[in-house]
Amino acid sequence: MISVSNVSMRFGGKILFEDVTTSFVPGRRYGLTGPNGAGKSTFMKLLSGENEPQKGTVVRPKKIGVLRQDQFAFDQFRVVDTVIMGNPPLWKALEEREVLYSKPELTDEDGMRLGELEGIVAEEDGYSAESDAAVLLDGLDIPEPLHPRMMGELQGGQKVRVLLAQALFGRPAALLLDEPTNYLDLESIHWLQNFLTHYDGTLIVISHDRHFLNSVCTHTADIDYQTIITYPGGYDDMVLQKTQIRSRIEAENAQREKKIAQLNEFIARFSAGTRASQVTSRKKEVERLQTTELARSNIQRPFIRFEMKRPSGRHALEFKGVTKGYDGLEVIRDFSAAVQRGEKIALMGRNGAGKTTLLKALLAGAPGVDDSDVGRDSGTVTWGHEVQAGYFAQDHRATIRNGTTVAEWLHEWDPQASREEIRGLLGQMLFSGEEGLKPTDALSGGEAARLMFCKLMLQKPNVLVFDEPTNHLDLESINALNIALQKFEGTVLLVTHDEDLVDEVATRIWHFERGAIEDFAGTYEEYAAVVAR
C-alpha cells in the first residue's frame, strides 16, 4: 500500500494540492488524471520518493517500479542489463558476485559472501533474470538481436520501451508509470494493457490515452480543485461522477441562495417592526444556510473546429506504384489506392513499419504543403480538383519558426486575417490575453501542438494529414481533436496510436505489416472483428 497523509505542494502562489490524505491499495489500478500543470508528475515524484512534500508524509513499500524519464542515464549499459536494474537488490548482488568471481583466488570470507549473494540471487529469481527480461522486451517490441546491444545505440522511442520494461521487472509491490504509452504502437499498448490487468500490486498510472485508462484502471484519482478525489472506475466513469457531483452541489447552492434571498427580503421588510423575534430567527437561518464558494476547476477545454474554404472534387487523391526507401531498404513498395472526398483513413501498424514514410511520399508536391522533408522514389500521385492539404508533422515543433511570437507566427500564414480573428483562434486553443505574445522559442510540446491546430483552422484546408497529433496533448485537447475530426466534412489521413481516436474517427484502415499494406474499407471495429476471426 502507498499512503499519503496531509500532503501539500505549491509553487509560488499557485497551490497544486493542499492537505491531501488518501491511500492506494494493492490489487487496485489507479489512473492519476488532471489537466496539464495540475501537478500529476509532481505528485508521482512524491509517491516514488524522488521528491519530498513541502508538508505531510508519504509511506511506500520497499520495492517500487518507476518509469524513468531520463533516456540517456543507461547509455553505457546493455539493454538486458538495464531491464534487470529494475530490481536493485538483484542487480547489486549480481554485480558484487561478478567482482568476486573475477578474483584469481577466493578467501574464506569471499566464499561465505558468495554463498550469501547466491541466496539473494535465488530469492530474487536471478537465475531466470535474463529470460524474464527478454519476455518483457519482446512484448514491448524490442527484438532479441537488440537485447545484448548498448542502450546508447538505441533510438529514443526504443529507449523509452526498455525503461518501461525496467519498471515492470522484478515483481515490484507498486508500479508508478508516467505516460507509459508514449512511443508505443497499438500492439505494444495492447500487450501492456494485458500485463497490467493481471498485475496484483498497486498500480498508479498517468496517461493521456482515454482508452488505455478505461481498459486498465479500477479507480481514478483526479487532481482538481486543489485536492485529489478518488472515484471508482476508469476515466469515463470519473468524468460522469465528477460532473454529477458538481452539478448537484451547484443546484443545492442555487436553492440555498434562493432561500437566503427570500429570508433577507423578510428581514429587510420587518426589521424595524414588531416582528423582532421572527427577524432574529430568520437571521440565524441565513447564517446556517450560507453557501461556501466553490473552488474553481483547473480544467481548460480547447475548442477545435476544422472548416474548409471550399470542398475538393469527389476524387481527393489517387496514387499508383508509390515506392520509398532509405539507405537501400525499401520501406513502401508499389502501393496504389484511390481516396474519395470525405474518407477518414487511419494508418496503423508497428513502429517503423512505414506509416510516416507513406505520408511523406504522398505529400511531395501536394497543394498547400511546403515541406522539404517529403518525397518518394517512384510512383505517381494525383491530387484531386481544388484540393488544399494541411499537414501536422510528427516533428511539427521544428516547423514553428523561432524568434517571433505566437500571434505573429500565426499571422504569417494568412496576412489578410484580422487581429480579432487571430486573437479568437488563439483563445479557442487556450492562448488567452498576453499569451499571444509568448515567444515561439518558449513553447511546450502541448502548446506547439495547439498552435499547429490554430494554423490549420486559419488555413481551412479540405484534406487534413496528421502524423501523431496527440503525443503532447492532455485528455481534454485529445477529446476536442476527436470531436473536431468526426465533424470535419473533408478528407483525413491519420497516424495515431490513440485507440479511441482511430475507433471513433476512421472510416477506412491502411494496416502496415511485414512490408505490405492492407487496405480495409470499414471502421476499426469492423477491421478488428475481421482480424479476430
Domain limit, last residue, from 210, 233, 256: 233
Query: Residue 383, class by beta-carbon neighbours within 10 Å (0-12 exposed, 13-18 middle, 19+ buried)?
Result: buried
Same domain for 13 and 119 = yes
Determine how β-strand 64-66 pairs with β-strand 174-178.
parallel
Size (the chain), residues: 533
Give, in degrees to the nearest 5, the angle at Cα 479 between 476 and 482: 155
Asked, for residue 435, whether it belongs to a domain, the answer is no
Q: Which domain holds residue 67?
A: 2-233
Q: Does some domain include residue 454?
A: yes
Phi, psi dihedral angles at 245 (to 5 degrees): -65, -45
Q: Are 381 and 322 in contact (CB under 8 A)?
A: yes
Q: Which of 233, 250, 265 is the last residue of a domain?
A: 233
Query: Is 134 inside any structural domain?
Result: yes
Instruction: Indicate if 202 and 322 belong to the same structural domain.
Output: no
Q: How far apart are the first and last CA of the chain?
A: 41
CA distance 153 to 229: 43
Residues 222 and 269 in one domain: no
At 137-158, the pLDDT tens digits run: 999 889 999 999 999 998 877 8
| Residue 253 lies inside a defined structural domain of this protein | yes
Q: How many domains does the chain have?
A: 3
Question: Who contacts 123 (Cβ-Cβ below 8 Å, separation ≥6)?
Answer: none
Q: Within this chain, do residues 209 and 261 fall inside the same structural domain, yes or no?
A: no
Per-residue pLDDT tens for 64-81?
998 887 778 899 999 999
Q: Is 464 exposed, middle or buried (0-12, 13-18, 19+ CB in 10 A)?
A: buried
pLDDT of residue 287: 73
pLDDT band at 292 (very low <50, low <70, confident <90, very high): low
Give the residue from 443, 458, 453 showing the smallest Cα distance to 481: 453
CB atoms within 10 A of CB 143: 9
481 part of a folded domain:
yes
Answer yes or no: do 371 and 471 share one domain.
yes
| Burial status of residue 24 (CB atoms within 10 A of its CB: 0-12, 13-18, 19 or more) | buried
* pLDDT surpasses 60 at 279: yes
- Strand ranges inside 179-276, DSSP E: 202-206, 219-224, 227-232
Do residues 29 and 219 touch, judged by C-beta distance below 8 A?
yes
Assess if residue 425 is contained within a domain. Answer: no
Same-domain status, 339 and 247: no
Q: Tell which residue, 174, 178, 168, has the closest CA to residue 134.
A: 168
Q: What is the CATH number of the domain that holds 199?
A: 3.40.50.300
* Same domain? 219 vs 362: no
Residue 245 shares a structural domain with residue 358: no
Residue at 153: amino acid letter: E
Q: Which has the closest alpha carbon to 174: 93, 80, 41, 59?
A: 59
Of 384, 395, 385, 386, nearest to 362 by C-alpha is 384
Q: Report the range of poorest mean pLDDT among 302-311, 327-336, 459-468.
A: 327-336
* Poorest-pLDDT segment among 333-337, 459-463, 469-473: 469-473
Residue spans of alpha helices (H) in 72-199: 79-84, 88-101, 108-123, 129-139, 156-168, 186-197
Closest CA to 449 of 298, 346, 304: 304
Residue pLDDT, tens place only, 12-41: 777 888 899 999 999 999 999 987 778 888
Residue 83 lies in a domain: yes
266 with 330, same domain?
no
Domain identity same for 327 and 356: yes
Helix, strand, or coil here: 447?
Answer: helix
Q: Does residue 245 sit in the same domain as residue 324?
A: no
The rounded distance, in Å, linking the Cα atoms of 114 and 283 is 80
Residues of the chain with pLDDT > 90: what percent? 56
